[in-house]
Structure 1
Amino acid sequence: MQLKFLGTSAGRPTKTRNVTSVALCLPEPQCGFWLFDCGEGTQHRLLHSGLKLNKMERIFITHLHGDHLYGLPGLLSSRTYFEGAGPLQVFGPAGLKAYLECIFRYSGVHLGYELDVIEVTPGEISSDHRFVVEAAELEHRLPCYGYRIIERPQLGQLNLAALADMGIRPGPLYGKLKRGEAVTLEDGRTLTPADVVGPSLPGRIVTILGDTKPCDNAVTLAKDADLVVHEATFAGGMEEKAANYGHSTFRQAAEIALAAGAKRLVVTHFSSRFDDAAVQELVADARHIFANTEAAADFAEFPIKRPARE
């Protein structure tokens, strides 16, 4: 499980940074990815990332500003040409459905797959056997959401050596034990998962925030997260300017991570006024508040390690 950044610039692209987009690469058995925001040029970045559009399962849009959205219609259109592109869910604020319907109607686009556009409200917005996704509204100039991705705990590994010693060969019983079910053997013995399944694997929490001023919901979404992605458009000392535009400084992002008890912070969405050297200086300053702060960069990858077993 890892994050791969496709764009890290605020407002407009630069020669070294595209506008906002980040992919969450999922662990086995899915091996697909979810996309968070889709600024102009995102599909071009994907071409150089190793990620294929037919492996993209969901898209989450934080808000409808162009640097987070203008790449979406083109990307959705291009996905039609990828063999095996199945149904796709797109989540985002109210207005997203009308935006896409308008563009597709006037440009004559016909998608070759099922597209489900879901306009989110605060709370749980998606749940399956592997992940729960929650959303909360942030404080920006347009309605803007942050997303909290919660991986459910996973069952431990089967003790294959112990099963072999018992004379139990691979087959349906393995699947039942792995699912947490007790089984009855041919000799009448009952075998429980606790006998042959190792400790469960704790899930991970990833928080990806859209553009925002410091706010309580940012802390709530980032609570105890293994990794938080927070915008850092302005330098420390520019808090008044940041507030006027609905953004945060590097220091404020660090303060949110600290207040949330997060384990790791990756800042992104940098103003074009800051080159790479300036970003590193601002990160060094933010580390005085939250030591485990890192700067995103286009095509940078951040593995998300599973927390230690409890």
Structure 2
Amino acid sequence: MTLRTTFLGTSGAVPTTRRGPSAVMVHREGERFLFDCGEGTQRQMMRFNTGFDVDHVLLTHLHGDHVLGLPGLLQTWDFQDRTDAVAIHCPPGSRKQVRDLVTAAGHDTAFPVRINEVTPGSVAIDREEFEIRAFETEHRTTSQGYALVEDDRKGRFMREKAEEELGIPPGPAYGKLHAGETVELEDGRVIEPERVVGPPRPGRSLVYTGDTRPVDATVDAAEAPDLLIHDATFDDEMADRARSTGHSTAREAGEVAERADAKRLALTHISSRYPGDARELGREASAAFDGECFVAEDGQTVEIPFPDKE
């Protein structure tokens, strides 16, 4: 089951020749979710072959480098004769500004655009097997991050034990037991599912902060996230600038990842002060974080496997 992230824009504040403004595409088993939509996002979607089939856009805040790609993307969908509704999720109190942005060029779409204010701590998208919920961040305006968290999965069905040790013949009983049902065999024995099904297995999780200072809410957003995508605008020398502008340094991002017990850390929102090699940011983050750490690049795709994948 696919869970894949493509970085469409990894620059901070302004685009560079190497990086576009903030946008992240998350593809989960047939659904695509767009987190932030900076200038030029639709071109990045074409360039990196993510597809345009997006029903949900989740905005962390309304600074231009996170939203100015939205009017153009909506207009393109209209040119493509889209009829399906799109939901735009945004921080509380920002519905009017988002509506004004959507219609900024005097263009209204033929398809429904639903604007959903999401309060930190609440669920933006609720599915049978996962949810995307908002959490509070700290920036120079009302802001929030989002965590995609999958439910636990069924335990493994121990076929060898069922067949050889308990003598359960292959057939419908296996499916019922794996679904958690007790079955009665032809010989009268009653088999509880716990005898042949292992403990629940954890799902996957992804946390995206948008622009933020280091905050406890990021640590609490998901238990040991498989991928934490964190603001890392500046290096250590610019720590004062990070504090005054509501951003994080790479080292601070690493400290958050370490506290959150994240498996991987992606550093993004890289300042244009680092137009070329930004590996030093990765080294500073790695000094505080023992897990895998990398500076995200535009077009980079990251697959998120199940924790127990062999």
User: TM-score under structure 1 normalisation?
Assistant: 0.84
1:120 aligned residue (107, 118, 121): 118
Kindly, what percent of the aligned residue pairs are identical? 37
After TM superposition, the structure 1 = structure 2 runs for residues 83-162 of structure 1, keeping only pairs within 5 Å, are 86-105=84-103, 107-112=106-111, 114-126=112-124, 127-156=126-155
- Unaligned segments of structure 2, at least 5 residues: none
Match of 1:7 in 2: 9
- Please give the per-residue CA displacement for 1:265-306, whole angstroms capped at 9, x wherever unaligned: 1100001110332x1122123212113221100010112121
Residue in 1 that maps onto 2:43: 44
Report the AA paired with residue 27 of structure 2.
C
Say which of 19, 23, 26 aligns to 1:24.
Answer: 26
Residues 33 and 57 in structure 2, CA contact (< 8 A), matched pair in contact too:
yes
TM alignment of 1:246-285, pairs within 5 A: 246-277=246-277, 279-285=278-284
Give the Cα separation in 1 of the matches to 2:177 and 2:46: 41
Distance in structure 2 (CA, Å) of the matches to 1:250 and 1:111:
43
Provide Cα deviations, 1:229-272, integer angstroms capped at 9, x if missing partner: 10111111211111111111111111111122222111000011
Cα distance, 1:104 vs structure 2: 4.5
Q: Residue 290 in 1 paired to residue 292 in 2?
A: no
CA–CA separation in structure 1 for the residues paired with 2:99 and 2:177: 47
Distance 1:210 1:111, change over 3 A: same
1:168 to 167, 171, 181: 171
Q: Which amino acid aligns with 2:169?
A: M
Q: Is the 8 A contact 2:74 2:102 kept in 1?
A: no
Gaps of 5+ in 1: none
Corresponding residue of 1:306: 306
**1:241/1:87 Cα in 2 relative to 1: closer, same or farther (>3 Å)?**
same
**Aligned amino acid, residue 25 of structure 1:** H
Q: Which SS does the other structure have where 1:123 is aligned?
A: coil
What displacement does 1:73 show? 2.1
Q: What CA RMSD, in Å, does the superposition of the two structures yield over aligned residues? A: 2.9
Aligned length: 300
> Which whole-Å CA distance do the structure 1 matches of 2:110 and 2:198 have between them?
45
Pair 17,66 (structure 1): closer, same or farther in 2 beyond 3 Å: same
Other-structure match for 1:62: 60
Q: Distance in 2 between matches of 1:133 and 1:219?
A: 16
Distance 2:199 2:110 in 1: 44
Is the Cα contact below 8 Å between 1:222 and 1:228 reproduced in 2?
Answer: no
